[in-house]
Amino acid sequence: MSRRRTLSTKKKLALLVSAAAVAGGGAFALAATSNAASVQNAQTSTVCKGLATALGNNQKFIDGQRANPDAQSAARITNREAVIAQIKVQQEASGCTVGESAQDSQAGAQPAQSAPAASAPAQSAPAQSAPADNAGGGAATGQQVCAGSTVTLSGEGGAPAASSNQFPAGTKLKVTNLDNNKSTTVEVTSVSGSCVLLNNAAFEQVREPGKFLIRKARIEKVG
């Protein structure tokens, strides 16, 4: 007659505890992996949204130049197409949809016919392109301008600078990110489809890590 070996009560308890520990460890690992993936997805979404906005702003500027061309439009369009190409490279590197674009509310509010006025001689630009409620190029030194504007980057290199559809070249603007209280003072060097568009170096001075759009900004004319 065969003998059936039986486990003692202590051995049974030890086996049950070991099994529970293994199962619990696996559940913890899965939860940690899931949380890390969620954080990564949120960061990627923010980056992609900022790049899409920057691309959309540049496309809108190009559309305005093509709709109302002047002697310098071809050069401006070539410059902006190079910026868009660089943004697409950044989109691919960040895992975003390449070519995705979005217009921020301020850029979308600008009428297409204002683009040529931004490239007109400095003395006429404020009267033609600046909405009355934003003060525009006619604002006094030290006055806050572009109320409610969001600020993004153009993708252009070089020393800290800005472009604008309301202020002539040579205007100095102070841009403050109210989310982190960082600020930069830059000179307008070219035209764009937004009240203020910072180049890469200027945007780095005021950005929050991983973000490509400043939703709460204070913009002041300082010179």
CATH of residue 171: 2.40.40.10
Write out the two tokens for 136: 């525009």
Torsion of CA 49, 95, 98, 79, to 10 degrees: 70
The per-residue pLDDT for range 114-157, each reduced to its tens digit, is 333 333 333 333 333 333 334 455 666 778 888 888 898 888 88
- Name beta bridge partners: 174: 185, 220
- Closest residue by Cα to residue 147 from 206, 54, 216: 216
pTM for the whole structure: 0.47
Nearest partner of 118 among 174, 80, 159, 147, judged by Cα: 80
> What is the rounded end-to-end Cα distance, in angstroms, of the chain?
104
2 lies in a domain?
no
Q: Is residue 117 part of a domain?
A: yes
The number of residues making up the chain comes to 223
Q: How far apart are CA 216 and CA 175, in angstroms?
A: 10
In a domain, 4, yes or no: no
105 to 14, 48, 174, 195: CA distances (angstroms):
64, 17, 21, 12
> Count of domains in the chain?
1
Q: Find the domain containing 151 and state its range.
A: 9-221
pLDDT tens track of the chain, all 223 residues?
A: 455 555 556 565 555 556 555 555 555 555 555 555 565 566 677 778 778 888 888 888 888 889 988 877 787 787 778 778 878 887 888 888 988 888 643 333 333 333 333 333 333 333 333 333 344 556 667 788 888 888 988 888 899 999 988 899 999 999 999 999 999 999 999 887 788 999 999 999 999 998 888 989 999 999 8
| In-domain check, residue 92 | yes
Any domain includes 158: yes
DSSP string, 22-81: HHHHHHHHHHHHHHHHHHHHHHHHHHHHHHHHHHHHHHHHHHHHHHS--TTHHHHHHHHH
Task: Give dist(CA 149, CA 219) in Å, integer.
Answer: 8
Residue 180 falls inside a structural domain: yes
